[in-house]
Amino acid sequence: MRAAAILVTIVLGVPAVLAGCGGDSNSDDQVAGKQLFVKHCGACHVLARAGTKGTTGPNLDQAFQESLKSGFNRDAVRGVVKHQIEYPNTKGVMPAKLVEGQQAADIAAYVAYAVARPGEDTGALADAVKPAGAGQPIVAKNGAISIAADPNGQLSYVSDKATATAGPLKISMPNQSGVDHNLAIQSGTNGPVLAHTPIITKGVATTTVTLKPGTYTYFCQVPGHRAAGMVGTLTVK
């Protein structure tokens, strides 16, 4: 869903694009679409109702806002989004066949519903994706702690709170998201970085550090990820 491609399509209003993005919108599943969007698209795109704050691709709310105000209807948005998923810009960063078939239709249906729409999702849509970082606080055991990157594509860890005991600490960061992430430990909120794992796309990254009692920050060092919400607090007692 590259910004330039979306906006050019909107501005030109290419009827062949919209006509070729068929599928019965009544059979599309917006709940599944939201889940798939967060997993596959959320690390790249901002979409307020989905709670995503991606930093690589365009802000979808902004990309469609003016066109919707000008009378571009949401069925047309659905067609444009589905077309961009199926035929991404070959010079862009979005991979081909990110999703296909009904999954592409479901994502397009949700984006068309949610994009540039004020307020928050309700009902089943509100419960479709857990809030980023909302898991239970993580507690270190036997000098080791595991703080996983959100596996569903959110720019967050599974929890934004963790506790440990002073002394040597082995830190593991499982990452099954398919998005580049790491975990760095910082003294306080503005202090020096004391340790960090390597950046990985999938697998488990580890590092070790010796910590004194106090408050530390853990965050992702991939550009834009901390600002998007991939950050938490580690309390050492």
- Please say whether the beta carbons of 169 and 210 come within 8 A: yes
Burial of 56 (0-12, 13-18, 19+ CB in 10 A): middle
Q: Identify the burial level of 98 via C-beta atoms within 10 angstroms of its C-beta, where 0-12 means exposed, 13-18 middle and 19 or more buried.
A: middle
Give the whole-angstrom CA distance, residue 132 versus residue 61. Answer: 19
- What CATH class has 138-236? mainly beta
Per residue in 86-101, pLDDT tens?
998 877 778 888 899 9
**What does the mean pLDDT of the chain come to?**
87
Q: How many CB atoms lie within 10 A of CB 5?
A: 19
pLDDT greater than 80 at residue 132? no
* pLDDT per residue as tens digits for the range 179-236: 899 999 999 999 999 999 999 999 999 999 999 999 999 999 999 899 888 999 999 9
* pTM, rounded to two decimals: 0.72
| Rg of the Cα atoms in the chain | 20
- Can you list the positions of beta strands (E) in 45-132? 46-47, 52-53
pLDDT of 66 higher than 60: yes
33 closest CA partner among 18, 53, 47: 47
3-state secondary structure of 63: helix
Output the CA angle 135-50-53, nearest 5 degrees.
80
Highest mean pLDDT among 16-25, 54-63, 166-175, 222-231: 166-175
Taking the C-alpha atoms of residue 201 and residue 175, their distance in angstroms, rounded to an integer, is 7
Nearest-angstrom CA–CA distance, 171 and 190: 20
For the domain made up of 3-126, give the CATH fold: Cytochrome Bc1 Complex; Chain D, domain 2 (1.10.760)
pLDDT of residue 36: 92
Compute the average pLDDT of residues 114-133.
90
Domain ranges for the chain: 3-126, 138-236
Task: Answer yes or no: is pLDDT of 145 > 50.
Answer: yes
- Give which of 145, 130, 150, 120 is closest to 231, Cα–Cα: 150
pLDDT tens, residue by residue, 170-186: 999 999 988 899 999 99
Element (H, E) at 132: none
Q: What is the mean pLDDT of residues 13-40?
A: 67
For the record, the structure tokens of 10 come out as 């909107």
Element (H, E) at 60: helix 60-69
Token digits for 91? 């010079």
